[in-house]
Amino acid sequence: MEYAIELRHITKTFGSVVANHDVSLDVRKGEILSLLGENGSGKTTLMNMIAGIYYPDSGEIIVDGKLVEIRSPKDAYALGIGMVHQHFKLIDVFTAAENIALVLDKQEKYNLKDIKAKAQQICERYSFDIDLEQKVYEMSVSQKQTLEIIKMLYRGAQLLILDEPTAVLTPQETEKLFAVMRNMRADGKSIIIITHKLHEVLSISDRVAILRKGEYAGTIDTAAADEASLTELMVGKKVELNIEREAPVNPHLRLNVHNLTITNAEGIKVLDQVSFEAFSGEILGIAGISGNGQKELLEAIAGLQHPEKDSSIVYYPDDDRDSTAEQLIGKSPKNIRDMGIHLSFVPEDRLGMGLVGSMGMIDNMMLKTYSEGHSPLVDRKGPRYLAEEIKDELGVVTPSISTPVSRLSGGNVQKVLVGREIAAAPSVLMTAYAVRGLDINTSYTIYHLLNEQKKSGVAIIYVGEDLDVLIDLCDRILILCGGKCNGIVDARKTNKEEVGLLMTRLAGKQEGGVA
Amino acid sequence: MKKFIALVLAAMLCMLACSALAADLKVGVILVGDETEGYTLSHMNGVKEAAANLGIAENQIIWKYKTPEDQTCYDAALDCIGQGCNLIISNSYGHQTYMVLAAEEYPDVTFVSMTGDFAALTGLDNFKNAFTKVYEARYVSGVVAGMKVAELLASGELSPEKQPNSFDADGNVKIGYVGAFDYAEVVSGYTAFFLGIRSVVPNVVMEVNYTNSWFDIDKEAAAAEALIAKGCVIIGQHADSTGAPAATQKLQDAGTLCYCVGYNIDMIPTAPTAALTSPTNVWSVFYTQLMNAMINGEEIAADWAEGFATDAVKLTDLNTAICAAGTVEKVEEVIAGIKDGSVKVFDASSFTVGGQTLSSSEVDMTIMDWATMTVAYEGQKYEAIVDGAFAESDFRSAPYFALRIDGITEIK
Amino acid sequence: MTNTHHEPLMRIVKRSESTFKHKVIIRLIAVLLALVIDAMFIYFVTGLNPFAVYTTMFQGTFSNPMRFSWAMRDLASLLLVGIALAPAFKMRFWNIGAEGQVLVGALATAAVMVYYGGKLPNALLYPTMLIAALAAGALWGFVPGVFKAKFGTNETLFTLMMNYVAIQLVACCVNIWRGQASGLGKLNMKSKAGWFPQVFGQRYNINLIVVVLLVVLMYCYLRYTKQGYEISVVGESENTARYAGINVGKVIIRTMILSGALCGLTGFLIVGGRDQTISTGTAGGNGFTAIIVAWLAKFNTFYMALISFLLIFLEKGAGEIASAYNLNDFASDIIAGIILFCILGSEFFINYKPIFRSSKQTSIGKEVA
């Protein structure tokens, strides 16, 4: 068997954290290998060592049967290894072709015409769909990713590493990517793909290598695997895949959003006349391809946007529809809080909006409550107690509750954020991509927390990307497309195909199919 | 002459130098610049020469270079005292207000603020000012320039026909002067220079161009070029750089008829065929007197001002190649006249102010606090016209001649 | 191609957490290293005895109580600006305008001294000077603050430009006040109106007392008050601040008023307690040096005091070396600079550690890039 790359006994530590311990795995020529593992299991670190970004503490890397040193991405390129990172390394103001030119060897001559011709060949060979003259800032996420892959192939990559490439793609784009990957495999290239989505693993890869807590847990042929067996290998124990869902108890109207329209700084309507109702004791799912107005919708309710006039967001504290209804438009987050309305909001950007990365858990606990009371001094007693509580109850792994939260892993950061928002005893709880990037265990912890809140009568708005989860977790699902509401469906009666269709169908062609 | 005095002093003081007193003297010298700057360099050389004359060792002198005219000066003075200095000298006018503070606090230490003007008014026994009568040397340098103008006129090289631009409407020859600031020090100096010229050539006028800086090569050059462009045939200066002589040489090389008189240092290397001479201070004369007095426990004047009489001022070597014939003799004659009193620089009969010959001019030694328009140091008023001449530097060392005499125009 | 298999000579690894002892050891090594490099420089370039030079350097600050007192006085001026800058920089507001804010504070103080000195009793004169200085500094901070908050202007350029406005204002006033004298000299030389009273023998001791108080107060302000908390949040992310319900614009303006006012206070203390006069050099570059102080200390005012002391010690030491050995002051600045470089460089090794390859090397074929 010919191997593209073999890793032997690789170990890598960061301070006291062991990211990889004694990992050995290999990739055959002309195969697609899925690298599977929970969050923090060391997948990205391992790949970074192949790509020359990190250097292993110990262990050997063998490429094409020869022991090699990979000290820098340059070494990796020279060995035919290319990695497409989660965060693209592109220059926004350059065109696609100019970005490709950036990877040129020193010896190569800079001739944009030749570069374009060669890149065009690659595109045709693997049927990439890209305009080489387009500037990167005009590109969609999917196009940028394509460009990254072309860049690597241009540089002569024989082994391509894709780090969670589908996380940012629509199902259709994912299919396109997979088609291209199969073309590359047919051409004899080897591909390592990191993903969390088990169905993708099963559909694209030849073999699956699994990492568990930084250690190698084994490789199995995809043909012999199913979701259950992969999950078991990954988490080490059997996890209940079904999400519990109970019928809403005594729901009553909590939020009435009417004609919500938001125009962004560029003058584009990011939300266009969106209307819906949210009920207590219910989880309302928001489905849609990333960037179709989900963020603005939640922020508008939280008082962080400036909706157009005629927009209306009315909050009802209890059964009485009229007496104490409050209009939220035009109110700042502080105004809303001062009105006694507990809106909790888990934003998509956890460290850039929901939390202060440089602060510890304690200081993050008081982000929304610090100003309470008349003393000019902050009171850290309550937040300290709350931080301890959340740490214990949600099992936040952190050296101390004073450690800056930016040093925690993604899952723990999310636990801190969700924990704080739930602790605020909300009447409305909004979450944006609450489980993005989280491993299965943590994801289920979050689902469980949401269901608890639902039971206690909170109106929950859940913006998600995984349709299976949306359909299993939510009571109703609102589908956003191009800033318009493309419909609200009963989650118990719908299926992925229906929701997926609503997500991609242009709102203009839709004739008022609101359920 | 100067060498002779130095020799005599050295011989005389040889014995004193061996005495314990000379060894007790420790001098702190606070300098506004360092050896890269002509003004400070001449003071440094003066102090070193005096120390050599008196057998004062190098380690008895503490130098404080590049001391700005602010609190740093006070700190430097105290720091010198902390290191055992009993004589503190500062070389810039602006140091004075900080020196006086230190002088108030340390009555046992002698402070000398060179070029300062209010030591005598403070009533402090340990605070002194000193300045040379450099206007005497400027007058003589004016004589040198006047001889040159006379020669040019006599030879016909300079004539209203050839250089109409160099004569004013009344047929007076135009002279130029590059001044730093419009302070009395500068006014006194350019007036002396002008009167020196006029003692040889009666029909001259002068324009003064200010640079508002003591040291700015570019500005001084620009000022000189502007004056020469107006037709000035002689450029005098009271600013510290070589800008004006260099500019004069450049224009002379380009065919313009112009010569210059420098200041402080020999300008012949800068302007070999344009610089006639430079008036300069001989600081070592004062420093030697000062240190000698300190060693002997003698008082020195609160306001020390001396000139040719003790060789405290001089002219640098005459540029004999271009100076008019007989200049050397004339210079010796004028200097001798100044020494014996027969030549008075500011002879009241030699100038008019507003068309009038002065028979009386009151000078007020009071130092004003201009910010609050109050009196900082109350000074006496004096009648400055004594024996038919303006008594410059007699009532205090720093110049106070600030009259604007007829024949000179200032451009600001 | 066959080659010797070897890992990189050195690689840099992030440390998990440095203990206090560890940090102290690294800094000590840095100082020792600096002294060794300096010794070579001194010996080979200047030809002097390094130990004698070090002694001289030390004497710059410590040879007598007077010098130590001066070092403290200069430290006060630098540290005061550092403290004033801390809230602004903690908010990630690049206030490059401290120099100008100090100058306008000093100018306001001087103006009150000139126009009200002798006319107001001291009991009124001092508060008037103080209020004028605070107001002037606050104004100089408020203007860029409000433009940043309302129009999103670039505060770095804005505050920098405000410096030049302040310098020209000062130059203009100095020129008016000096009248026919060649320089301004000390203000109110005769009446000493507005000069701080001597405390423990020195007027500037008041500055020292104020700076000690402010070190503690600013530490508490940033750490324990709600406003301090808001500053931290805004500094980390404006999005987070808005999410938390903080009025970002208000915090920016308020903090810049505070920062500017404290710079103004510095100007007041410099004029009243240290210089008793004003010039365009009154702030003396402290407005810029203090940025280094604030950043190095990560806005911890106690560390700021230490760093200020180090900078002043080096400055005084360099000056003393230049004076004592008749050295060009560039040479003495190099000596001080090497020490500063090593100490700053050691910060890297507190967060990272180098790992050198082990001596054993195996000979295995290697694909050469």
**Total number of domains constituting chain A:** 3
CATH number at residue A253: 3.40.50.300
Quick check: B375 and C190 CB within 8 A? yes
Q: Which residue of chain C has the CA closest to A406?
A: C236
Task: Calculate the alpha carbon distances from A98 to A95, A127, A148, A213, B153 in Å.
Answer: 5, 20, 12, 40, 77
Instruction: Judge if A229 and A94 occupy the same domain.
Output: yes
- The pair of structure tokens assigned to B356 is 């009038």
C17 touches chain A (CB under 8 A): yes
Instruction: Note the CATH architecture for domain B2-133+281-313.
Output: 3-Layer(aba) Sandwich (3.40)
Q: Is A107 helix (H, G, I), strand (E, B) or coil?
A: coil
A-chain residues within 8 Å CB-CB of C249? none
* Whole-number percent of chain C with pLDDT over 90: 59
Give the mean pLDDT of C301-307.
94
Condensed to tens digits (0 to 9), the pLDDT of residues B166-211 reads 999 999 999 999 999 888 899 999 999 999 999 999 999 999 999 9
- CA-based torsion, B119, B121, B126, B131: positive or negative: positive
Q: Which residue of chain C has the CA closest to A68?
A: C366
A-chain residues within 8 Å CB-CB of C224? 377-378
Give the mean pLDDT of B154-166.
92
C-chain residues within 8 Å CB-CB of B63? 323, 326
Averaged pLDDT score across all residues of chain C? 88
Q: Which residue of chain A has the CA closest to C17?
A: A15
Query: What is the H or E stretch that residue C25 is in?
Result: helix C20-41
* Whole-number percent of chain B with pLDDT over 90: 72
Nearest CA among B3, B4, B10, B5 for reference residue B292: B10
Instruction: Judge if A58 and A155 occupy the same domain.
Output: yes
Assigned domain for A205 exists: yes
Quick check: C186 and B62 CB within 8 A? no
Nearest CA among C43, C99, C79, C110 for reference residue C283: C99
Task: Calculate the alpha carbon distances from A186 to A29, A179, A222, A265, C110 in Å.
Answer: 10, 11, 17, 46, 82
Q: Is B138 helix (H, G, I), strand (E, B) or coil?
A: helix
Q: What is the pLDDT of residue B1?
A: 56
Q: Evaluate whether A419 touches A394 at the Cβ level (below 8 Å).
A: yes
Last residue of a domain, one of A424, A447, A480: A424
C298 touches chain A (CB under 8 A): no
Instruction: Note the CATH architecture for domain C49-324.
Output: Orthogonal Bundle (1.10)
Averaged pLDDT score across all residues of chain B? 90
For chains A and C, having 3+ Cβ pairs within 8 Å is answered yes
Interface test with A, best of C5, C229, C300 (most A CBs within 10 A): C229
Q: What is the pLDDT of residue B20?
A: 47
* Whole-number percent of chain B with pLDDT over 70: 95
Q: What is the pLDDT of residue B10?
A: 55
Q: What is the pLDDT of residue A237?
A: 56
Instruction: Note the CATH architecture for domain B147-278+320-346.
Output: 3-Layer(aba) Sandwich (3.40)
Instruction: Judge if A407 and A432 occupy the same domain.
Output: no
Q: What is the pTM of this model?
A: 0.77
For chains C and B, having 3+ Cβ pairs within 8 Å is answered yes
Q: What is the pLDDT of residue A83?
A: 92
Quick check: A55 and C11 CB within 8 A? yes
Q: Which of B64, B367, B376 sits opposite C323 (nearest CB)?
A: B64
| Structural domain for A489, as ranges | 242-342+425-515
Query: pLDDT-based confidence at B6, cuts 50/70/90?
Result: low
* B neighbours by CB contacts (3+ pairs under 8 Å): C
Last residue of a domain, one of A235, A264, A290: A235
C3 touches chain A (CB under 8 A): no
Q: Give C253→chain B minimum CA distance, Å.
A: 35
Interface test with A, best of C237, C250, C254 (most A CBs within 10 A): C237
Question: Is the model's pLDDT at C369 over the cut of 50?
Answer: no
Quick check: B371 and C178 CB within 8 A? yes
C-chain residues within 8 Å CB-CB of B377? 190
B-chain residues within 8 Å CB-CB of C173? none
CA–CA separation, C63 vs C348, rounded Å?
33
Quick check: B71 and C114 CB within 8 A? no
C240 touches chain A (CB under 8 A): yes
Query: pLDDT-based confidence at C8, cuts 50/70/90?
Result: low
Condensed to tens digits (0 to 9), the pLDDT of residues C95-129 reads 999 999 999 999 999 999 999 988 999 899 999 99
B-chain residues within 8 Å CB-CB of C181? 367-368, 370
Condensed to tens digits (0 to 9), the pLDDT of residues C28-68 reads 899 899 989 989 988 888 888 899 999 998 988 898 888 89
Q: What is the pLDDT of residue C360?
A: 44
C237 touches chain A (CB under 8 A): yes
C-chain residues within 8 Å CB-CB of A300? none
* Whole-number percent of chain A with pLDDT over 70: 93
A-chain residues within 8 Å CB-CB of C11? 55
Q: Which residue of chain B has the CA closest to C271?
A: B71
B-chain residues within 8 Å CB-CB of C63? 82
Place of tokens 């730093």: B180
Interface test with C, best of A6, A55, A379, A403 (most C CBs within 10 A): A55
> Please, which residues have CB within 8 angstroms of residue A259's CB and are 6 or more apart in sequence?
A273, A274, A275, A310, A311, A312
- The pair of structure tokens assigned to B118 is 């209010």
Quick check: A79 and C367 CB within 8 A? yes
Q: Are strands A476-481 and A484-490 parallel, antiparallel or unpaired?
A: antiparallel
Give the mean pLDDT of B307-325.
94
- Residue ranges matching CATH 3.40.50.2300 in chain B: 2-133+281-313, 147-278+320-346
C-chain residues within 8 Å CB-CB of B72? none
Quick check: B79 and C66 CB within 8 A? yes
Quick check: C239 and A349 CB within 8 A? yes
CA–CA separation, C78 vs C85, rounded Å?
11
Last residue of a domain, one of A194, A210, A235: A235
- Beginning with the edge strand found earlier in the chain, give each strand of the sheet holding B61-64 in spatial order: B61-64, B27-30, B87-90, B110-114, B127-132, B303-306
B-chain residues within 8 Å CB-CB of C118? 372, 374
Quick check: A367 and C233 CB within 8 A? yes
Query: pLDDT-based confidence at B2, cuts 50/70/90?
Result: low
* A neighbours by CB contacts (3+ pairs under 8 Å): C
Q: Give A157→chain C minimum CA distance, Å.
A: 14
Quick check: C240 and A377 CB within 8 A? no
B-chain residues within 8 Å CB-CB of C277? 70
- The pair of structure tokens assigned to A315 is 């909050």
Q: Which of B66, B78, B376 sits opposite C66 (nearest CB)?
A: B78
Quick check: C177 and B98 CB within 8 A? no
Quick check: B181 and C182 CB within 8 A? yes
Give the mean pLDDT of C339-367.
67
Query: What is the H or E stretch that residue C102 is in?
Result: helix C98-116
Write out residues in chain A with pLDDT < 70, as ranges.
Answer: 1, 15-17, 38-40, 235-241, 266, 290, 319-323, 437, 497, 504-515
Q: Give C62→chain A minimum CA distance, Å.
A: 40
Cα torsion at A131, A137, A139, A140 (round to 10°)? 170
Q: Which residue of chain C has the CA closest to A372?
A: C226
Query: pLDDT-based confidence at C210, cuts 50/70/90?
Result: very high
Q: Which of C16, C244, C365 sits opposite A67 (nearest CB)?
A: C365
Quick check: A377 and C366 CB within 8 A? no
Instruction: Judge if A204 and A250 occupy the same domain.
Output: no
Task: Calculate the alpha carbon distances from C191 to B94, B375, C124 in Å.
Answer: 20, 10, 16
Q: Which residue of chain B has the CA closest to C116?
A: B372
Q: Which of C70, C182, C186 sits opposite B183 (nearest CB)?
A: C182
Q: What is the pLDDT of residue C363?
A: 37
Averaged pLDDT score across all residues of chain A? 86
Interface test with C, best of B70, B238, B375 (most C CBs within 10 A): B70
Q: What is the pLDDT of residue A507?
A: 41
Q: Which residue of chain A has the CA closest to C357?
A: A57
Domain boundaries, chain C: 49-324
Compute the 3-state secondary structure of chain A and give helix, strand, coil in percent, each to the nearest 5: 35, 25, 40
Q: 3-class secondary structure for A164-197?
A: CHHHHCCHHHHHHHHHHHHHHHHCCCEEEEECCC
Condensed to tens digits (0 to 9), the pLDDT of residues A27-59 reads 999 999 999 876 667 888 899 999 998 899 999
C238 touches chain A (CB under 8 A): no
ipTM of the complex in this document? 0.82
